């Protein structure tokens, strides 16, 4: 008898789930990226943006995180998962800077989102030009 695999998302290895609360602008930015990338799930977009932001040198990230000012206002929740290796980096950065993982993820997502121009994406959608070439 063969064992059947349950339907759903293919296994991507061990992952750690995060619930992070972001400013409405950042959540809307992630939703817009998802829309222009053929309606990718928000979690996949958040994972890709976080992975991009983690490409910076570790010492530079620690320096930037020590001066980071977290958003103080209304927040919206965003759930996503990261591979265990990236989650360990997040927790390592939090420990090295004395910040919470919430602060680390808020910073990383904010930095990662800077490369995606909201105006360009909105124009693209308005003109009906299809999907943007974004590596998500």
SS3 59: helix
Q: Which residue has the tokens 């996503």?
A: 80
pTM (two decimals): 0.77
What's the pLDDT at 125? 67
Phi–psi pair at 23, nearest 5 degrees: -65, 150
Mean pLDDT by 10 residues, the chain (136 residues): 44 83 90 83 89 89 88 90 92 93 92 81 68 53
What's the pLDDT at 130? 56
Distances in Å between the alpha carbon of 80 and those of 25, 29, 53, 130, 133? Answer: 17, 15, 16, 26, 22
What's the pLDDT at 10? 46
Q: Residue 22 pairs with which residues in a beta bridge?
A: 76
d(CA 136, CA 131): 12
Where do the domains of the chain lie? 17-126
Task: Classify each residue of 18-53 as buried b or exposed e, where b means 16 or more C-beta atoms within 10 Å of its C-beta.
Answer: bebbbbeebbebbebbbbbbeebebbbbbbbbbebb
């Amino acid at each position: 008898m063969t064992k059947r695999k349950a339907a759903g998302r293919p296994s991507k290895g061990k992952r750690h789930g995060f619930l992070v609360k972001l400013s409405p602008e950042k959540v809307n930015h992630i939703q817009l990226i998802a829309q222009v990338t053929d309606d990718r799930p928000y979690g996949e977009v958040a994972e890709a943006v976080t992975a991009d932001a983690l490409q910076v040198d570790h010492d530079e990230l620690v320096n930037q995180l020590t001066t980071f000012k977290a958003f103080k206002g209304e927040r919206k929740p965003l759930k996503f998962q990261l591979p265990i290796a990236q989650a360990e980096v997040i927790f390592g950065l939090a420990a090295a800077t004395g910040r919470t993982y919430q602060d680390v993820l808020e910073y990383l997502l904010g930095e990662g989102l800077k490369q995606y121009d909201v105006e360009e994406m909105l124009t693209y959608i308005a003109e009906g030009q299809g999907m943007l070439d974004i590596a998500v």
